[in-house]
Each structure stands twice: as C-alpha cells, then as structure tokens.
Structure 1
Amino acid sequence: MIEKLEEIKLRFEEVGQLMVQPDIVNNAKKSSQLGKEYRDLGKIVTKYNEYSKTLAHLKQAKEVLEKEKDPELREMAKMEIDDLEPKVEALDLELRDMLIPKDPNDDKNVLLEIRAGTGGDEASIFAGDLWRMYQRFCDKRGLKMAALDFTEGTAGGYKEIICSVSGEGAYGLLKFESGVHRVQRVPATETQGRVHTSAASVVALPEVDEVGAVEINPADIEVQTS
C-alpha cells in the first residue's frame, strides 16, 4: 500500500506543476480535468501525510518504552501508544478504502425520482418525508438540490417528485438509495390509531454526458418513395 501511496504523492506533485503550464491554463477542458484530479489526489495525500505523521509518533513512543528506564516516562509512553495505535489502524483502513477504484459515475450529478407507492394518501406523505430527508442530507453534504417537476398528494406530500442534485460526488452518495422504501407507522390520516404500511420508490440516475454532433454518412441513408 505504501508504494502505491508514494506513487500517488508523486503524481499529485506532477499534476500541481502541470496546472500552471501556459498550454494547460489556456485549455479550459484540460485545466478542469487536471483540477479535478488534483483535488481527488490531494484528499489521499492529506490522509497519507496524517497517517505517516501518526505512525512516526507511534514508533517513537515504542522506542521510548523499549529503551527508557524511568518508570514515569515509560508510563507516559504506554499511554501514548494506547492512544496512537487505534488512530493508526483507523487511518490505515481509511487509506485502503480511498484506494479502491471509484465508479466513474460517482462524481456525476443526479436525477432523483421519488414516487408514492402502495398506501394511498399516507404513501404520498411518506414520499414527501423522503424528499425532505434528502434535502437535509444534501445540505449537510454541500450538494445543491432543486425540484424539476412534481405532483402533490391530496393529503400532503407528493405522488411524484423529480429533482436534480448537483455537486462533488453526488451520484456516489445517492446511488444506493435506489429501490423501494417502506414505513410502518400510525399516519396522520388515520383516526383510529391503526398502524399502516406504506411504500415509495426512489430512483437515482447519473447525469448523462453531453453527446456531440452525430455524423451520418449519406451513403447509409436509404430513401423510399411510394
């Protein structure tokens, strides 16, 4: 893992140098691509630097414990080791997770669809609850969410709502939300206190890349006249 991280660190420095080259600065597309790569690599490099620093402190504490004779200093070293070992382990796991290849769609914007399912008016209310939940989630994650189209339920909520979600890592954060969501509760529309089961479906789709102009060879066109 360390060898891979060192390669990433070198690439991070290389990209940083490339970004200030005149031919890159004047190329908006290339500059944007390198800027994104630089930010992604920077997250790993920052975590790797933290890991290296913490690991160095741990090794130093172990050396003190091994060589030091003074009981008080040995006790301080033991306390530091107990504090640092779980931190090193946690950072190691974070780095391994960051090195897992990403889904190429993870950084794309999202088209999010929420539709009320079985459960009548309560299903529409539940769909509205899901919408508000995703709104709060996006706010906390720094994502921008905007409603594109919706049909309100007769007792509140939505029969259907379609929205866009934009921001860094939007699809990666929402892609596993796709599916049927269910809730069991006493709905606001229930007058006798009975528990109802309601459902709503959620679909998260990555934004499709723009397709360039399609060229058609005239020789491939066949025109028939009656």
Structure 2
Amino acid sequence: MNSRSIFDLSSREMLLEQLQKEAENPGIWDDPTSAQRLMKRIADLREEIEGWNQFLKRCQDGLELAESEDESLREDLEKEISALEKELQQRELTTLLSGPYDHENALLTINAGAGGTDSQDWASMLMRMYLRWCERRGFDSEILDFSEGEEAGIKSVTIAVTGPYAYGYLRGEKGVHRLVRLSPFDAAHRRHTSFAQVEVLPEISNGDNEIQINPDDLRIDIYRSSSAGGQNVQKNATAVRITHIPTGIVVSCQNERSQMQNRENAMRVLRARLAELKRQEQERQLAELRGEYIKAEWGSQIRSYVLHPYQLVKDHRTEYETGNTQAVLDGELDGFIEAYLRSQKTKSGGL
C-alpha cells in the first residue's frame, strides 16, 4: 500500500466527518433535494471508506501469511496478491478523482460531425462503446434523447450515466473522436475519415443553489416524437423542447412516452449545460486576467480510431494507444481513462 492511497483515505475520512456535521443541522431539511443529495454523498463516502479499510485488512492478512513461510499456502498467497494488485489499481484510480463534480453522475452527448452517413454511423458506434463501458463498470445508463440518422446510425444521443464518480471517469472523453476505416457505405469501398463530438457534463441536482432557473426565462415547445419505430412512434405530442431565452441554449427530450418525464429529463440537461456555461465564463475571465488566449472552436480530435490500413486507437493528449481496436469499441476504455486522469494530476503537480 503506497502513501498516496493512505493520504487520500485520510482526506476522505475528514470530508465524511465534515459532511456528517452538516447533516446534524435540522435546517438542511428545509431544502429536501439538497438534503437528499448530502445524505447520498455521505453514504457513498462511507461505502468507499469501508471498502478501503477492508482492502487494507486483506493486505495485512496477506503480509501475515507471507511471513509464515508455509509453502502449502504459496499458491493461495500468489492468487491473493494478484487480486490485491488488481483491486489496488482500481482503487488508486479513484484517488485521482478530486474535482468538485467528479463524484456526480454524468450526462454524455454524442453528435455526428460532417461526413453524412459515415459520421452518423460512427456516432452510433461510439454510443454502443459507451453503453458497453457502463455495463462493464456496473453503471446504469439511460437514453434521454435520440435522433436517428437519415440512412444509418444516429445524428445525436444524450445518455444519463449513473454510478459512483461517473463524471470523474468520463470527463476526459469530452472532445472530437476521429475514425478512419473502409466505408461500408461507399460502393467503391474507399477509405473514409469520420468525426463525432462527445460532450460530457456533470449532472446538477435541482437543489444546487449555484444554478437557479427562472421559469419566465424558458420557452417550452411540445411536439410529436420523431423517433424510429414505425407503429411505436407516439401519436400524442410527448416530446419536449426547452429554450433558455437568456442564453439561447436549446435542449430536447423525446425518448419517454410521458411528456412530464421528457420535460424533467430536458431540465436535467439544461441545468448541466447552464453550469458548464458558467464554468466556461469563469475560465474565460480568469484567462483574461492572466493574459491568455482561449480559442473557441470545435477543436482537433482528442483520439483517433484507425481500422484501416492498420489497427490502432491512440489518444493524442496522453499518447496512450492500443492495437486491440475491437476491445476498445466493445467498451474497454479504462486504460485511456486512467492515462488521462494521471496526466491531469501530473500537470497539476499532484503526482
């Protein structure tokens, strides 16, 4: 067990103690939503700390077995060491998640870029990749909004990802993803390059005091769902589009059969986008004070997925790469996520 993990456990114990003191104040229940959020944070922290303590006990038990020098226990000890090393790697990763929203759930949106059917197909491949990643981690995923492509694939999709530190793990996926392959939609079977943009936002609870939405600032349109499905297309108007008039932000949700549920989901996305807008404005103001220049553009790709003429997935920020492209497209993203988190920690001087 290294000192970094132990230090992080100590800081989490102090945070838990602080939050428990806040929870002792009866006044917190004046705002039930904020109170429930606080209690959930306490429960998650307590579970994490208990997990670390159990892990530390297993390490201690393993050391005692090793010191016994009993050869009959050697095989079991080697298996336990291997299991502990694997668990340590996963647990150490959570120590890199210390951002203000890292512990929150995430809202992930994929938008097909220019390139027609190929890019829309690529967006659907990314959707499958992230849904499979959620399955691997045991996270819940819910499609809030879905816009089907004209011939194949999707134009856009918004997915709510629920699980411990979902935003912290996924925030590094934000950016442009580039695919190079032989196009299945080209009669000449030529090589095509496709782009899709991934947006990742922390889900902001309704009780977050930093984001206040005035109902008078909203224009709400109700319309019929345009989702695919033939006879399953809604005959009633249940899809919801919300425009936040002061900022011009537009969000829509049409995946639920209930207009009320679609409205609630649209508000979830709107709160997250308003929080991101506020964060960007704060960064812009800070950059101006520092005399820095921030370029506002779609941006160059953060990761390339090459399926032809060779097999390679490479992250251009960390240089992490693998030739097992199929595994990545099947949701094996932890290597990329860990490399990004470690690179960010290194930049901030944490490691």
Q: What is the TM-score of this pair, normalised by structure 2?
A: 0.46
Q: CA deviation at 1:200?
A: 1.4
Give 5+ residue unaligned stretches, structure 1.
66-73, 215-226
Which residue of structure 2 aligns with residue 42 of structure 1?
A: 47
Which residue of structure 2 aligns with residue 142 of structure 1?
A: 139
Q: CA deviation at 1:165?
A: 0.8
Give 5+ residue unaligned stretches, structure 2.
215-351
Q: C-alpha root-mean-square deviation of aligned residues, in Å?
A: 3.7
Q: How does 1:44-193 map to 2 (within 5 A)?
A: 44-62=49-67, 64-65=68-69, 74-100=70-96, 102-140=98-136, 141-148=138-145, 150=147, 152-158=148-154, 160-168=155-163, 169-193=165-189
Deviation string 1:51-107 (CA, Å, 9 cap, x unpaired) is 323322322431x22xxxxxxxx4225445544444454455545444445222223
Distance 2:19 2:101 in 1: 22
For the 8 Å contact 1:124–1:157, the answer to whether it is kept is yes
Cα–Cα, structure 1 residues 13 and 162, in superposed 2: closer, same or farther, change >3 Å?
same
Larger Rg: 1
| Higher mean C-alpha displacement, 137-146 vs 1-10 | 1-10
For the 8 Å contact 1:54–1:84, the answer to whether it is kept is no
Distance 1:198 1:6 in 2: 46
| Higher mean C-alpha displacement, 74-83 vs 128-137 | 74-83
Question: Which one has more relative contact order, counting CA pairs under 8 Å at least 6 apart?
Answer: 1
Distance 1:204 1:85 in 2: 36
For the 8 Å contact 1:24–1:31, the answer to whether it is kept is no
Which residue of structure 2 aligns with residue 221 of structure 1?
A: none
Distance 1:25 1:153 in 2: 46
Query: Which has more helix, going by share of residues?
Result: 1
Q: CA deviation at 1:190?
A: 1.5
